[in-house]
Amino acid sequence: MNSKFITFEGGEGVGKSTQIKRLVSKLTKTGVEAVRTREPGGTPRAEAIRSFLLQGKSEQWGPSAEAILFAAARLDHVNSMIKPNLADNKWVLSDRFCDSTRAYQGLTGGVPDELIDALETLALNGATPDLTILIDMDPELAFERVRKRASEDGLNLPPDRYEKENLDWHRRLRRNFLDISRANPDRFVVVDGNQSANAMESDIWDRVKERFSELAA
């Protein structure tokens, strides 16, 4: 089976990490070799940029500089992790990718389209996802999940760079992700995030099988 590149997108706490793990496990059971990665991050150099960005150290530089940093991390991720695994015939599943830059820094953060387009061309270098799964849900409900996780884990961490934006900002982010999905109907599927993890898993598996008919064989 040819390698595929699948990305998961959406707002904070919508269930991307939970579902990506489940999809890797389902693919593995069908005999597909699948690897999971994330953005920002996925390689040691990109993880170093992740810490800098998410601890808020880049905030004072402004959204355009932050978009450039996300793209720098992505360039290393694409060249050192994503492309080599695809060339090795593995399926690569990434928790966030270029649509996060377009939604967070571009459409919601106000970075002009020209810069976002140029960074995307540069960082992707042809590695466009075969399928993007957008998990869509009300950010207020998603934040409840994030708070529940923090209290269950006994963690009292301060909100990261984007968690601390207000609810209106996150509602705009949600609409912007949906706009991106409508502009790319061949690449995107939109899944309702306001359902149980098991129901979402089965919904996603049906959509993936629909998109890649070789899995149903």
Which residues are near ligand T5A by CB under 6 A?
12-18, 39-40, 54, 70, 96, 100-101, 104-105, 145-146, 149, 162, 196-197, 200
How far apart (Å, rounded) are the C-alpha atoms in residues 69 and 71? 5
Closest distance of CB 104 from ligand T5A, Å: 3
Quick one: 146 or 178, whose CB is closer to ligand T5A? 146
CB of 83 to ligand T5A, least distance (A): 17
Task: Give me the least distance between CB of 25 and ligand T5A, in Å please.
Answer: 14
Q: Which is nearer to ligand T5A, 86 or 191 (CB)?
A: 191
Q: What are phi and psi of 120, to 5 degrees?
A: -65, -45
Quote the least distance from Cβ 71 to ligand T5A, whole Å: 8
Start-to-end CA span in the chain (Å): 11
Nearer to ligand T5A among residue 100 and residue 176 (C-beta) = 100
Q: Are the beta carbons of 121 and 73 closer than 8 angstroms? A: no
Q: Name the CA radius of gyration of the chain, rounded.
A: 17
Nearer to ligand T5A, 147 or 182 (CB): 147
Rounded to 5°, the CA angle 112-115-119 comes to 145
CB of 80 to ligand T5A, least distance (A): 16
Which residue number, 85 or 100, has a Cβ lying nearer to ligand T5A? 100
Please provide the DSSP assignment of 161-217 as one string. Answer: TTTTS-HHHHHHHHHHHHHHHHH-TTTEEEEESSS-HHHHHHHHHHHHHHH-GGGT-
CA distances from 114 to 3, 75, 111, 118, 146 (A): 31, 18, 9, 6, 33
Q: At what angle do helices 63-77 and 44-54 cross, to 10 degrees?
A: 160
**Number of neighbouring beta carbons within 10 Å of residue 172:** 16
Q: Which is nearer to ligand T5A, 30 or 194 (CB)?
A: 194
Rounded to the nearest whole angstrom, what is the least distance from the CB of residue 17 to ligand T5A in the complex? Answer: 3
